[in-house]
Structure 1
């Protein structure tokens, strides 16, 4: 029989919930309502309020070829950063998931990148990948012009993606290590006795058993790549060169606060929100059927 908690004072539960409700209303529902308002209206040229324009803002951004380039770039950014970060984290977790000397030290070291703020990491990686110094500078001395993200958009985008993937390794590593340690040792030992090498055991035994964790991390990494890349891009490239590192979240900022196109930026934010919602819905409804939890 389940026990339920009852409050004699009917006001007390609402007082306990009030701080969280206020935070949700102020930092989620209120900004969302304002974004919806601006997305369907247009500010008058000389002030004086907004006029209703319906879907005109959405038609305008959908008819812009540069916007679709940004959408495709965001998809590429999310796929690459998610793949790199999760793959490296899984390899590291499988290495330290052993009763060997020194594994405890590496278990703590691999988590450290997650504690670093994105702008700080962006500044560090900007210096690491600077074409004038370090390893890259030495390569440019041998092959002049081999690497210069200041003028090469592909290299600049790669630099940002590597930094974003590196930041997510610690987060993914924690979950992968916890999932691997939940697998009974007898299963891996049985596979080893049958002659399966570590890589074979990882793909044939361990990965199917931690599929729920992989599924969860894939969703979280994709959403993070779509929504949390602003700090890195603003510090490392500011969307350049020539807009080649401009993803959806940064374009919203640029159009809204640089070009002062509030309505267009609001419409873009609604599109980004719908993409994230659709991505999560598709993942849970389609991928979940192929994930075994037992």
Structure 2
């Protein structure tokens, strides 16, 4: 039986909790409250106070076809990038966990991409996937115009998906490798003695035991795909061409800081927050049932 640590005076516990509560209030509840207030008012671009408009800002954005286009693109981006990141991280972790020659070096190299800032990786991929340079230039010589992210919206979306997935494959790899190393070797050796192949051992033994990690990464990767894609979009495409990569998080920035529609941008941020909450609740409600914790 575990012994719980208690405080003789309740004031001691409060003192320990106060710093964390201040941080949460300062950097989460206060900004979120301000966003809710701005979304219900009309904020003047150059000052002058707020005019109460109720739900008019939400009605305006929900009636906009550009906004729904942004929502659709964001969901597609999140689905594809999350799938690539998790599958890529899972496969690389499974291969590295086999203790092949040079596996320690592989671990270090495969972790590096996550340590690179999103704008820096976006600059690298912008050069790598440029139609006038590198490998893509050779491809365009054979098939002229087959790849041009500056004009083709699908190519531009593929560019930001590639840059984002490359960074988060490394993130998923870290957790998957830790999960694989936490599996008792006796289980894998017993399956091998029974004649199971490598793929059979992975599917029947290892995969069920890493489902908690899969669920955790699914929640995190989907959340990050909606929130952490701004730097990549801003550097690589700036939301273009023709709003084909204007994700929700980037549209909030462009409408608020470029279009000076602070109230509309605040309303969009509330919708984005609610969408992430709904997706997270859905995952905990329906997907977690398939997770094997024991």
Give the TM-score normalised by structure 2: 0.94
Question: In 2, Cα distance between the equivalents of 1:123 and 1:19?
Answer: 38
Which has the larger displacement, 26-35 or 182-191?
182-191
Distance verdict in 2 for CA 1:181–1:53, change over 3 Å: same
- Whether the 8 Å contact between 2:219 and 2:280 is mirrored in structure 1 is yes
Structure 2 unaligned residues grouped into runs of 5+: none
Tell me, yes or no, if the aligned pair for 1:7 and 1:13 is still in contact at 8 Å: no
Is the CA contact 1:164–1:229 (under 8 Å) kept in the aligned structure 2? yes
Q: Who is 2:3 aligned against?
A: 2
1:285 to partner: Cα distance: 1.7
Deviation digits for residues 1-52 of structure 1, max 9, x if unmatched?
Answer: 7243426693x65554444333222211111111000111113588532221
2:60 and 2:217 map into 1 onto residues whose CA distance is: 35
Over aligned residues, Cα RMSD in angstroms?
Answer: 1.8
Helix, strand or coil at the partner of 1:51: strand
**Does structure 1 retain, via aligned residues, the 8 Å contact 2:45–2:261?**
no
Q: CA deviation at 1:131?
A: 0.7
Distance 1:170 1:46 in 2: 43
Three-state SS of the structure 1 residue aligned to 2:51 is: strand
Task: Show the 5 A alignment for 1:1-294.
Answer: 2-6=3-7, 10=11, 13-43=13-43, 48-294=48-294
Q: Please list the CA deviations of residues 234-263 of structure 1 after superposition, one character each: whole Å capped at 9, or x if unmatched.
A: 011111111110111001111111111111
Q: Is the 8 A contact 2:41 2:263 kept in 1?
A: yes
TM score, norm. by length of structure 1: 0.94
Structure 1: tracts of 5 or more residues without a match: none
Whole-angstrom CA distance in 1 between matches of 2:75 and 2:55: 24
Q: Residue deviations 1:152-176, cap 9 Å, x none?
A: 1110110100110010111111111
The 1:7–1:238 alpha-carbon spacing in structure 2 relative to 1, beyond 3 Å, is farther
Corresponding pairs, count: 293
Distance 1:172 1:67 in 2: 30
CA distance in 1, matches of 2:93, 2:44: 56
- How far apart are the structure 2 equivalents of 1:99 and 1:259? 54
CA distance in 1, matches of 2:140, 2:114: 31
